[in-house]
Structure 1
Amino acid sequence: MSNLSEQQTDLQVQKGIRLAEDELVILIQSALDTGKYGDLEESQFRNLLRVSDTTDSVEVIKNFIRYQVGRDKKWGRGKGSLAEQIIEDIDGNIKKNAQIIAECCQSDYKPIWLELIRRYLGYGARHLKYLKDGKI
């Protein structure tokens, strides 16, 4: 593939990711607003975000969430929990969006999936901050 067509593909992928952002924000806000969880601190959510930024594996991210659930109840447990909803979003809507973007751009979906997850979690950290400290 030529350099120019690689750049065009990258631009198409970035545009697809930007177009998916509204849905990502809505998904994570809904998870935080309706999911069952304890006194989850912003720093704990940011640790999850840091893990997502330092790995190229979706399974590592989900493993970290499950590890946190095993440590304490701040992420919630079982059906309806925040942890469960985040994993469902990662494996469901976020993955589906990544596959659609990849198909349109004729690209590999896994890096797109990771980028969407990172943005989703980043928006989650912001919304959690609002829920904890900034309610109007």
Structure 2
Amino acid sequence: MTEQLDPQKQLQVKKGIDQAEDDLVTWIQNALDQTKYGDLEESQFRNLVRVSDTTESAEVIKNFIRYQVGRDKKWGRGKESLAEKIIEDIDGSIKKNAQIIAECCQTDFKPIWLEMIRRYLGYGARHLKYKRDGAA
């Protein structure tokens, strides 16, 4: 988080994000379990995680997802695709929760939103690994 918060606010923000983690895990697992996509490799998903770690922009993350959709069908296409579900979660549930945390802590929501997106995508990489290599 780029904004300098006093230690008390930092703790409140961290607590708020930590309390939302179960939701983040559930949302990305549902996205991976209930959408259509091709033979998406763990490395391709990790590239998305890397993009999220190197930007301060949710729009850059969504742009990268759309770019991947344009390159091949591994992310799925159309309304029921993994790509669209991830973008929907970023703009919907994740953003809404980040705004609630920011309001409670009286701080900017954007750094909170980005941290939540990063965690969501990180949990997605783990779940995809499980689906590809661990699930029977």
Return the TM-score normalized by structure 2: 0.96
- 1:37 and 2:29 aligned: no
Q: Over residues 96-133 of structure 1, what are the superposed CA-to-partner deviations in whole Å (9 max), with x where a residue is unaligned? A: 00000000000100000000000000000000000000
Q: Which blocks of at least 5 consecutive residues in structure 2 are unaligned? A: none
How many residues are aligned here?
A: 132
Aligned match of 2:10:
10
Aligned match of 1:22:
22
- 1:85 and 2:116 aligned: no
Q: Over residues 3-47 of structure 1, what are the superposed CA-to-partner deviations in whole Å (9 max), with x where a residue is unaligned? A: xx7100000000000000000000000000011000000000000
Give 1:52-131 correspondences, 5 Å limit: 52-131=52-131
CA RMSD after TM alignment: 0.8
Task: Supply the distance in 1 between the matched residues of 2:49 and 2:122 (Cα, whole angstroms).
Answer: 6
Larger relative helix fraction? 1
Task: Supply the distance in 1 between the matched residues of 2:48 and 2:66 (Cα, whole angstroms).
Answer: 11
One-letter amino acid matched to 2:119:
R
Deviation at residue 70 of structure 1 after TM alignment? 0.1
One-letter amino acid matched to 1:42:
E
Task: Supply the distance in 2 between the matched residues of 1:107 and 1:114 (Cα, whole angstroms).
Answer: 14
- 1:132 and 2:125 aligned: no
Task: Supply the distance in 1 between the matched residues of 2:79 and 2:69 (Cα, whole angstroms).
Answer: 13
Task: Supply the distance in 2 between the matched residues of 1:57 and 1:79 (Cα, whole angstroms).
Answer: 23
